[in-house]
């Protein structure tokens, strides 16, 4: 169900949009809270090396060599000072 809208999920599971939305919110809270988050989510350290599947593959490495962070479409909330805000716009 990844990438589907609430409406599509409601049609797929034959539930109202309100019910789907309520349970999606509950799941987000569970997955982003302890103990689940601290047990299963491990962010890479700056000292971690790039996986060899990317580094040694000429098909992928040109696109990943300068990657700075998430490649799954995630956006990280950022509240920079107003004087530098334009530098941070539309960055992933």
Q: Which residue has the higher pLDDT, 70 or 81?
A: 81
Cα atoms in the Cβ-side hemisphere of radius 13 Å centred on 73: 2
pLDDT at 92 over 60: no
- Chain segment 36-79, per-residue pLDDT in tens: 888 887 777 777 777 888 889 899 888 877 776 655 556 566 67
Yes or no: say if 20 and 9 are a contact pair by the CB < 8 Å rule: yes
Could you give the CA distance from residue 47 to residue 76 in angstroms, rounded to a whole number? 21
Please state the rounded mean pLDDT for residues 6-22: 93
Q: Where are the extended beta strands (E) located within 3-92?
A: none
Model-level pTM? 0.48
Could you give the CA distance from residue 76 to residue 2 in angstroms, rounded to a whole number? 19
Residues 76, 26, 3, 19, CA torsion sign: negative
Q: What is the structure's pLDDT at 22? A: 95
């Amino acid at each position: 169900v990844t990438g589907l809208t609430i409406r599509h999920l409601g049609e797929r599971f034959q539930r109202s949009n309100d019910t789907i939305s309520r349970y999606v919110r509950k799941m987000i809270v569970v997955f982003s809270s302890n103990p689940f988050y601290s047990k299963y989510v491990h962010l890479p350290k700056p000292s971690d090396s790039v996986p060899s599947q990317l580094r040694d593959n000429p098909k992928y490495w040109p696109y990943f060599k300068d990657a700075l962070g998430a490649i799954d479409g995630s956006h990280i909330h950022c509240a920079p000072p107003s004087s530098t805000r334009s530098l941070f716009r539309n960055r992933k």
